[in-house]
């Protein structure tokens, strides 16, 4: 994919080991440092795992400063038969997706620098993601969407809205695999969700996916190390509303 510039932001693929290190550093700031972890002696704390070598990495930079403000990694799969290679398969039983007979794309480690607030950053990242989808004939996007904190009560409105409006179709529904999960589709939640609080509590990428017709697993996996709860999230490209699809295509052009 060629670089994509939107206003002051440039989205480009990581090309060097320094690029990858910068992405891993930003991930550390977003996912690890917020839990109070001390930085390394050289000030170079990194979030890295074995899947980094198999993935491509997208960087979004502020062209006025050269600062990395957003990144994500992505793993193309030829079809559902390759689903076991994904990061998500460590936490969810994805056997239902093994019959998906078209290219898929797992998107992970999506993060925005904690010192930035500009919504154009996410718009630029989504435009880059849309271009990847179009260029590779992707028919389903998927990944894990993380909520901060491990207490379900903190996200009661969000979970209630997901249960009421956004559960996965039964034919693709992920099953429980992780040892520690919150089955929000079965839980007793206090009344109907407050839509404003629910949407405010959603991770930004999950909000974007839901606007595209995305769906989630019926349970959240509790990660005590990163102190998060995450839901499996899928978007079937063919089911994206036509108006939204046209907007994404224009943004990616």
pLDDT in tens, 216-252: 999 999 998 889 999 999 999 999 999 888 888 887 7
Q: How confident is the model at residue 41 (pLDDT cuts 50, 70, 90)?
A: low
Q: How confident is the model at residue 13 (pLDDT cuts 50, 70, 90)?
A: very high
**How far apart are the C-alpha atoms of 28 and 39, rounded to whole Å?**
9
pLDDT in tens, 65-103: 999 999 999 999 999 999 999 999 999 999 999 999 999
Q: pLDDT at position 36, please? A: 66
Specify the CATH number of the domain 4-252: 3.40.630.30
The residue with tokens 């060629």 is 2
Domain boundaries, the chain: 4-252
Task: Provide DSSP, 96-138.
Answer: GGGG--S-EEEEEEEEE-TT---HHHHHHHHHHHHHHHHHHT-
Q: Mention every residue, 6+ apart, whose C-beta is less than 8 A from residue 54.
A: 75, 85
Q: pLDDT at position 33, please? A: 86
User: What residues are paired with 29 via a beta bridge?
Assistant: none
**How far apart are the C-alpha atoms of 24 and 148, rounded to whole Å?**
19
Q: pLDDT at position 251, please? A: 79
pLDDT in tens, 141-169: 999 999 999 999 889 999 999 999 999 99
Instruction: Give 192 or 196, the one with higher predicted confidence.
Output: 196
55 closest CA partner among 31, 69, 71, 79: 71
Instruction: Give 200 or 219, the one with higher predicted confidence.
Output: 219
Burial-class residue 190 by CB neighbours within 10 Å (0-12, 13-18, 19+).
exposed
Q: pLDDT at position 177, please? A: 98
The pLDDT of 30-38, averaged and rounded, is 78
């Amino acid at each position: 994919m060629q670089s994509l510039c939107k206003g002051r932001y440039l989205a480009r693929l990581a090309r060097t080991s320094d690029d990858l290190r910068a992405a891993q550093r930003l991930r550390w700031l977003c996912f690890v440092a917020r839990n109070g972890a001390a930085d390394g002696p050289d000030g170079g704390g990194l979030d890295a795992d074995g899947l980094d070598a198999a993935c491509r990495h997208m960087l979004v930079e502020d062209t006025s400063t050269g600062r990395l403000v957003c990144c994500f990694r992505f793993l193309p799969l030829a079809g559902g038969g390759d689903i076991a290679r994904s990061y998500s398969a460590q936490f969810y039983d994805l056997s239902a997706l093994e019959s998906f007979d078209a290219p898929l794309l797992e998107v992970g480690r999506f993060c925005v620098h904690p010192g930035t607030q500009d919504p154009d950053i996410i718009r630029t990242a989504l435009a880059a993601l849309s271009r990847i989808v179009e260029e590779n004939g992707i028919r389903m996007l998927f990944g894990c969407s993380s909520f901060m904190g491990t207490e379900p009560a903190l996200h009661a409105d969000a979970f209630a809205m997901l249960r009421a409006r956004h559960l996965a179709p039964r034919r693709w529904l992920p099953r429980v695999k992780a040892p520690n999960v919150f089955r929000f589709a079965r839980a007793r939640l206090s009344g109907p969700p407050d839509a404003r609080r629910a949407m405010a509590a959603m991770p930004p990428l999950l909000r974007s996916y839901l606007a595209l017709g995305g769906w989630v697993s019926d349970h959240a996996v509790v990660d005590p190390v990163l102190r998060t709860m995450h839901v499996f999230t899928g978007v079937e490209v063919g089911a994206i509303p036509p108006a939204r699809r046209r907007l994404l295509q224009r943004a990616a052009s």
